[in-house]
Amino acid sequence: MNSATLASLSNLLVPTATVIYTLALLAHTVEWSSGLRVRKPAEQKVLVGADGAEIPAGADADGTDEPDRSSRWQQASRIGVLLTVLAFVMHAGGVLTRGLAAGRVPWGNMYEFAITASLAVAAVYLFLLTRQRLEWLGLLVTFVLAATLGIAVLALYVPAADLLPALHSYWLVIHVSAAAVAGGGFTVGGLASILYLIKSRAEAREADGKPMSAALRRVPSSAGMDAVAYKVHAFAFPLWTFGVLVAGPIWAYYAWGRAWGWDPKEVWSLVTWVVYAAYLHARATAGWRGRRAAWVAIAGWVVFLFNFIGVNLLLSGIHAYSGL
């Protein structure tokens, strides 16, 4: 295929992936919405069986549980995961054909950063799904993926073009790929931390006698989600350290003749590193668990997002080659 055909194929695959991620989001929305209603204790009914024994509402007269919405939840969850896998394949094809059309790695402008970084988020999520059951993250992950690709397609798109001279280096591949995978880990960890706060609050309310929704009962305990968030951050942080604080300065030295110049992107990359270093250090030494650690993780994700989006759009510097 020539470059024009590859570019057209990429322009078809990326929007298609966006639509499929949106369908996956709808499937996970059905999964969650099916269990959001909570029956208050005063609303619960008690049935009386043939033998005069009381049977809780939601059970048949023979005492067995009636078919509830769990099968619907499971089916919607499976559909959401399958659609996410399909969208990921389309997404990866779109990124690959974009790179082939440009004759270089596909992260030379903001549009390419967006589609590549979101691909890393999907890859980290799907990889973790092969290790443990993380379907409960599907709603938030597919929302982030659909929103990111939608914005990229509608607002950030630019035709494929050659790189700026400063970007012609194999360190570009090392630096950006490590940062993108780390960003995928930070995103999954941040989303897990958000759900942790929701679950822990529901657990506290349940301890006070207030019932928890069936949807939240299906997700792991808050302690389990806290552990997942910690493991993902522990995986992502070394990659960010290497990609940003090792490979980045080496590339900067060869590109601009200095390893560090307090450029806004460099500063906010360092701020991101400091926040996540504080999170991991507090977990390891101060024994931080729970809400305090989750808020620090979420703060780190917000700083990372500003570094990824805000610096490119709002600030100026030698890294401001967003293509907008």
pLDDT, tens digit only, all 324 positions of the chain = 788 899 999 999 999 999 999 999 999 998 888 655 544 544 444 444 444 444 444 444 333 343 455 677 788 889 999 999 999 999 999 999 999 998 888 887 889 989 999 999 999 999 999 888 888 899 999 999 999 999 999 998 988 777 776 667 788 888 888 999 999 999 999 999 999 999 999 999 888 888 887 778 878 888 888 889 999 999 999 999 999 889 888 888 887 788 888 888 889 999 999 999 999 998 888 677 788 899 999 999 999 999 888 887 777 666 655 554
- Is 234 a domain residue? yes
CB 323 within 8 A of CB 158: yes
The torsion angles phi and psi of 320, rounded to 5 degrees, stand at -80, 65
Answer yes or no: do 154 and 9 share one domain.
yes
Q: Which residues pair with 54 in a beta bridge?
A: 48
- Is 57 a domain residue? no
Domain C-terminal end among 163, 181, 204: 163
Question: For residues 70 and 78, what is the distance between their CA atoms, to the nearest angstrom?
Answer: 12
* Tokens found for residue 5: 């055909």
The torsion angles phi and psi of 46, rounded to 5 degrees, stand at -120, 125
Name residue 218's amino acid.
R
CB 30 within 8 A of CB 76: yes
* Tokens found for residue 221: 């305990």
pLDDT computed for residue 42 by the predictor: 45
Question: Which of 169, 163, 184 shows the shortest CA–CA distance to 107?
Answer: 163
Question: Which of 286, 284, 202, 197 shows the shortest CA–CA distance to 237?
Answer: 284
Range of the domain at 78: 1-36+70-163
Answer yes or no: do 322 and 207 share one domain.
yes
Answer yes or no: do 150 and 213 share one domain.
no
pLDDT computed for residue 295 by the predictor: 94
215 to each of 37, 136, 211, 268, how far by Cα in Å? Answer: 8, 9, 12, 37
pLDDT computed for residue 321 by the predictor: 55
CB 300 within 8 A of CB 135: no
- Is 119 a domain residue? yes
Answer yes or no: do 223 and 152 share one domain.
no
CB 35 within 8 A of CB 43: no
- Is 168 a domain residue? no
pLDDT computed for residue 53 by the predictor: 46
pLDDT computed for residue 41 by the predictor: 46
- Is 174 a domain residue? no
Tally of domains within the chain: 2
Answer yes or no: do 115 and 193 share one domain.
no
Name the one residue in this structure whose structure tokens are 């780390």.
Answer: 182
Give the single-character DSSP code of 136.
G
pLDDT computed for residue 234 by the predictor: 95
C-beta contacts of 125-132 below 8 A and 24+ residues apart: 125/84, 125/184, 125/188, 126/84, 126/85, 126/88, 128/188, 128/232, 129/81, 132/228
Answer yes or no: do 210 and 158 share one domain.
no
Answer yes or no: do 149 and 2 share one domain.
yes
Question: For residues 54 and 309, what is the distance between their CA atoms, to the nearest angstrom?
Answer: 59
pTM given for the model = 0.84
Computed over its alpha carbons, how large is the radius of gyration of the chain? 23
How far is Cα of residue 319 from the mean position of the Cα atoms in its chain?
A: 24
Helix 170-207 vs helix 110-129: crossing angle, to nearest 10: 50
pLDDT computed for residue 98 by the predictor: 94
Question: For residues 109 and 94, what is the distance between their CA atoms, to the nearest angstrom?
Answer: 15
pLDDT computed for residue 287 by the predictor: 73
Question: For residues 146 and 198, what is the distance between their CA atoms, to the nearest angstrom?
Answer: 22
